[in-house]
Amino acid sequence: MPAVSVIVPSYNTEKYIGECIESVLSQTLQDIELIIVDDGSTDGTFSIAKDYAERDPRVKAIQQQNQFAGVARNNGMAHATGEYLYFLDSDDFIDRDMMKSMYAAAKSCDADVVVCRSRNYSMKTGEHHAIAYALRDYKMDTPLTQEDIAKTLFRSVVGWPWDKIFKRSFILEHGLTYQPLRSTNDAFFVFMAMALAKTTYCLSKELVTHRIDDLSSISNTRKKSWNNALIAQDAIGERLRSEGIYEMFERTYVNWVVNFTRWNLNTLDDESAKGLLGAARERLEAAPLEREYYFLHEDYDFVELMHEPADSLVLRVLRAQEEVKMAKKLQQTRLYKTVSKYENQARFVWHRILKRK
C-alpha cells in the first residue's frame, strides 16, 4: 500500500501538467502513486499523462468523458490504494518535501486530515504571495480535535482540497465523495471531511503553489453554473444535521453561507448575480440580524440590506451618496472610503435584486 495516492483531475492543461507531474514524481517521499484522470481534454493533456504512465510504474493515466473535476476526483479515488489521499489540480505544483511533511504529520497523531499553508503564483506578474486566509485561527503544528476546529471551520480554511491530505479509510468510512458539479464541486467533500475528523493537524509550512490569473481556469466559468454554490451549501447543511453536529458548526457555517454568497455575487456578471441573489434571498433573510454574530461587519451589512424593503434601500443609497460627496468635500479620505464602500454595496443589491419589484 503506497503512503499517499496523489489524484490529479486534468482538463486542457497541456501547458502546465508536465510541471505538475514532475513536482509529484520528484517528491522526497517516493512511496506514492499518481493517478491522473483526464476529463475529456481536447488538447494534448492526456497524451502527456499517458507518456509519464508508460515511463513510471507509479503513474496511472485514466481518461473519462467530460464530467468536470468532481467526477474525475471520484474516479481517481475509486482507483486509489494509498493510506492517504491528496488531490492536486493539474495546473498547480508542490514543494519536493510536501508529501513527506504531510504524511509525517498525519502519522504522528493518526490524523484524519492534514492541512498546510500555501501560496499563489500569478501568471500575470510572475510573483508569489502567501495565501494567508487559507489557513488561520488554529494552533499550528499540533493535533486538533473536532471541538478545536468547530467554532471557526468555515472561516479558518477554504473548501479546496489541494492544501490537504485525507486518510482514505476515514473517507471511505463516511462515504464522502465530490459533488458532480461544474464549479464548487469540492466544498462538500472538504468541509465535511474536516467537520467529521476526530483529529486534524495544521502545518505551518508553505508546501503547495496555486496558479492564478489564468483566464482558462474553471473559476472563470462560474457564470454558467451560479447555482452550484447554493447546491453545495445545502448539501453541507443537510449532512451536518444528519450527523447531529449542526449546532456545533452552525455559526461558522451560516457566516460562510453569507460570505460565500456575497463573494460569488461580486465576481459574477450581472445576469448570473441576479439569478444567484434571487435564489439565495430567502436564506439570507433568514440569517440572524445580530452584528456580533458575524465575523465580518461587511457580512452583517449585507444581511441587513437583504432585510430592507426596496423603498427604504433607495433612500439609503441616496443618503450614502450625499455622505460621499460631503466626505470628499471635507477631504476625509477614511470616511469617504467607508461610506463609498457601503454605498456601492447598497446600490449593488438595489440594482440586481430589489429594482425588479
Query: What phi and psi, each to the nearest 5 degrees, are found at residue 44?
Result: -90, 15
Tell me what the mean pLDDT of segment 281-298 comes to. 90
What gap in Å lies between CA 54 and CA 51, rounded to an integer?
5
How many residues does the structure list for the chain? 357
- What is the pLDDT at residue 185? 96
pTM of the model: 0.88
Rg, Å, the chain Cα set: 22
**Which positions ≥6 away from 315 have C-beta within 8 Å?**
none
Q: Which of 139-143, 242-246, 268-272 has the lowest mean pLDDT?
A: 268-272
- What is the pLDDT at residue 204? 98
pLDDT tens-digit map of 73-93:
999 999 999 999 999 999 999
Tell me what the mean pLDDT of segment 237-253 comes to. 98
Would you list the DSSP string of 94-105?
E-TTHHHHHHHH
Is 51 in contact with 165 (CB distance < 8 Å)? Answer: no
What gap in Å lies between CA 298 and CA 313, rounded to an integer?
16
In the chain the domains, ranked by start, together with CATH numbers, are 4-225 (3.90.550.10), 233-356 (no CATH)
Where residue 338 falls among pLDDT bands split at 50, 70, 90? Answer: low
**Secondary structure class of 110 (helix, strand, coil):** coil
pLDDT tens-digit map of 23-73:
999 999 999 999 999 999 999 999 999 999 999 999 999 999 999 999 999
More reliable by pLDDT, 5 or 272: 5
Where residue 331 falls among pLDDT bands split at 50, 70, 90? Answer: low
- Mean pLDDT (the chain) is 88
Cell numbers standing for residue 251: 455559526
Cell numbers standing for residue 267: 465576481
**Secondary structure class of 21 (helix, strand, coil):** helix
pLDDT tens-digit map of 90-129:
999 999 999 999 999 999 999 999 999 999 999 899 899 9
